[in-house]
Structure 1
Amino acid sequence: MRFRVIIVSVLLMSCMVNAQSIKDKADHFFATGNFSKSIETYKTLEVLDDVYDDIAKAYVAIGNYGEGLAYYKKAISVSPEDLLLQYQYAKLLSKTKNYKEAHKRFSDLIQSDSLNPNFHYELGVILEKLQDSTALERFKTTFQLDSTHQKAIFKIGKRHLVKRRFKEAHAIIDVGLESYSENIELISLKAQAYYHQEYYTHSVVWFNKLLDLGEKSEFIHEKLSLSYAQNSDYKDAIYHREEALKFNPQDASALFVLGNYYAALSDFEKAEDYYKKSLKLRDVPLSNEYQKLGLVLNKQRKYKEAIEALKKSKKRES
């Protein structure tokens, strides 16, 4: 009898060691990014209860959200009190636009732990997707619970900016930048706030911060160009408008604006060139554009061409 007990114990120990070895291999595959191989290895275990969440994460990592959801459900059925599992499952529901179920899950999580700021934030994101105005209250609650929560600060700051509450926008953005001075989204909000306030010298500083951090876009260069132009810094305005054009070379409006800037610098030849490029791209040229072209042609004493452009301007007006 004793011998049989020893044999059974040895077999059980061997099974446990083998299972741990398989799990270690699967964990290694996961850690090194070989997610499909990790799934395959996890599934060779005789008992999957302890690895359902690992399989779920691996499926999510390769973009198979349907299987990820299925395995999170299995993991939760084994460990229904595990809030981390509930949180990961709820986030995936939100990501896959299962907003109704995600809303319920995050509401339940808040009931379990009302002091967790991220539960409130994620619920706010879902409410925002559902176009529910109470989303802002969730973001504010997140901020009250964690004044360094960058994502919540951005959401609140953006809402203030949209509503043109610039003082409030700057105040909360500054709080966020105190804990993370290189937050691209907050720096962009601050630059936009100054721009809409028509504080162009300040907007130039903050849009340039984005460039310094490696951010380059048509939007940034366009707003910098407009800000410089408002301060009559036409050389800088031209530089950034030309940088913006690299993203959209067929932008007739941008070409026309460049013509204006060169005209302001009395570089009428360049102005003429950009006005003509702008007119060529427009399906229906406007009288204002022809009038501008006529003026810069006249400045260069190209009187015949100037008269023709002004005639076209008159025709468009009539």
Structure 2
Amino acid sequence: MKIVKMTDLRVFIMSITVTLAFEVEGQSLSSNQKRANFTIADSLYALGNYTQAINNYVQSNEQNASLQIARSYSALGRFDKAIAQYEDIVVKNPEAQVAGFELGKLYLKTNAYEEGRKLFSKLIAENDENPEYHFYLGKIFSELEQPASSLNSYKRAIEKDSTHLRSLFQLGKYFVTKREKETALTYLNQGLTVYPDDVSLINLQALAYYNNDEYQKALPLFERLVELGEEKEFIYEKLAYCYFKNWEFEKAKSAYKTVIHLNDENSEAYFNLGQVFLKDRQIDSAQYYIQESIAVQKPFLAEEYVALAGIARNKDNIKSAFEYYKLAHQEDPDDAFIYYNVCTVADKLYEDPKTKLQFYEKFVGRFAKRDDYMGQMVAKRISQLKQEIHFLAN
């Protein structure tokens, strides 16, 4: 039996101790380096350097590294990789609601509606009290064209949080579109109680009244939108029309001119401004703006030509009225009323009863089946003209 000397034993113990110390130090350095990589990655992520952030997150062993990699891919717009990363997290940790929530929103963003529906339904089953889950499920149902389910989800969201503005907005928007004013206003007023200056809610509230022809109630709301900085074309258009319906012609003119300043190709604004001048008995200005309406648009000009014909009639310029009605008829040859006006103006313009008769007979040929007031008047006038021609021949 070999006897181990005490000196050899001491050397052996010391060598083991040194070896273990080096191994522990190596592990400590590796762990520290990984933590450092995560810190560096977070800094890169915060600065928007997502690709380099991903490279550092990959070399980290921190718990949140996988979630940050998914977020980085999403920020880069590489949604397929982001979704794959999120799905991996959720599969490995089904209780990870943060990752599940972000994945659900990404499903919505990438039109993966059925996957999003399943995921948000699962999240709601786990936590029914979160209004955001109900809100996003409502948006997904809307995209799936399931309005009843969508509305139900938005209502559930405001049951959980009565101040959930985005759900109140979606409910208000739906009922404004359906022209259910009172229901829309219930939700919109609830939202405006929370945030009185929310321009989206004020706009919907204004439209609820506007679509119901309650222009006096809509007017101050559109004015409020302008005060809040909503210098938008469609707001000024509706504001102008409210002024017009309220007989505030100068304000209507100013608002329509603002519309034209914002978009000098808005033919409807020119035309409506012409109508304001016409209502205000400023015939020449009315004619100018309606003609400008024609100048900035291409087809369909029948309405403008009819308006100009009416102005020409008011000015007793029968020849111009006749030319405008003919132009309107060329634009819309199927409109019986327009061609009836061609006939009646021609009746005043020409002296020869045979020429007059040609127009009325063309009306009958074009609109033979009409048995309304116009048809009866045309038939009566044809009879009168034929008698007149007969007497002149004798």
TM-score normalised to the size of structure 1?
0.90
* 1:309–1:278 distance in 2 versus 1, CA, 3 Å: farther
Summarize the alignment of residues 90-109 of structure 1 with structure 2, pairs less than 5 Å apart.
Answer: 90-109=104-123
Summarize the alignment of residues 144-223 of structure 1 with structure 2, pairs less than 5 Å apart.
Answer: 144-223=159-238
* 1:249–1:162 distance in 2 versus 1, CA, 3 Å: same
**Contiguous gaps of at least 5 residues in structure 2:** 1-15, 330-337, 340-394
Maintained 8 Å contact 2:309/2:325: no
* 1:179–1:314 distance in 2 versus 1, CA, 3 Å: closer
Q: 1:277 aligned to 2:292?
A: yes
Alpha-carbon offset, residue 180 of structure 1: 1.6
SS of the equivalent of 2:208 reads helix
Q: Which residue of 2 aligns with 1:307?
A: 318
SS of the equivalent of 1:55 reads helix
**Equivalents in 1 of 2:261, 2:101: separation in Å?**
43
Maintained 8 Å contact 2:44/2:50: yes
Q: Residue 258 of structure 1 is aligned with which of 266, 273, 290?
A: 273
CA displacement, residues 142-166 of structure 1 (integer Å, 9 cap, x when unaligned): 1111101011101111222223222
Q: 1:51 aligned to 2:58?
A: no
Maintained 8 Å contact 1:124/1:136: yes
- Greater relative CO (CA pairs within 8 A, separation 6+): 1
Alpha-carbon offset, residue 118 of structure 1: 1.1
**Contiguous gaps of at least 5 residues in structure 1:** none
**Equivalents in 2 of 1:212, 1:13: separation in Å?**
62
SS of the equivalent of 2:111 reads coil
Maintained 8 Å contact 1:255/1:274: yes
Q: Residue 85 of structure 2 is aligned with which of 64, 71, 82?
A: 71
CA displacement, residues 68-115 of structure 1 (integer Å, 9 cap, x when unaligned): 112212322443311111111111111111111111111111111112
| Identity in percent | 27
**Equivalents in 1 of 2:222, 2:159: separation in Å?**
29
**Equivalents in 1 of 2:145, 2:261: separation in Å?**
36
Maintained 8 Å contact 2:169/2:188: yes
* 1:128–1:9 distance in 2 versus 1, CA, 3 Å: same
Q: 1:130 aligned to 2:148?
A: no
Maintained 8 Å contact 1:291/1:309: no
Counterpart of 1:283, as a letter, is P
Counterpart of 1:308, as a letter, is K
**Equivalents in 1 of 2:178, 2:247: separation in Å?**
29
Q: Residue 114 of structure 1 is aligned with which of 128, 133, 139?
A: 128
Q: Which moved more, 1:267-276 or 1:50-59?
A: 267-276
**Equivalents in 2 of 1:74, 1:6: separation in Å?**
37
Alpha-carbon offset, residue 294 of structure 1: 4.4
TM-score normalised to the size of structure 2?
0.74
CA displacement, residues 28-84 of structure 1 (integer Å, 9 cap, x when unaligned): 111122223212322343x47641110111121122211211221232244331111
Q: Which residue of 1 aligns with 2:12?
A: none
Q: 1:23 aligned to 2:34?
A: no
Q: CA RMSD in A?
A: 2.1
* 1:107–1:284 distance in 2 versus 1, CA, 3 Å: closer
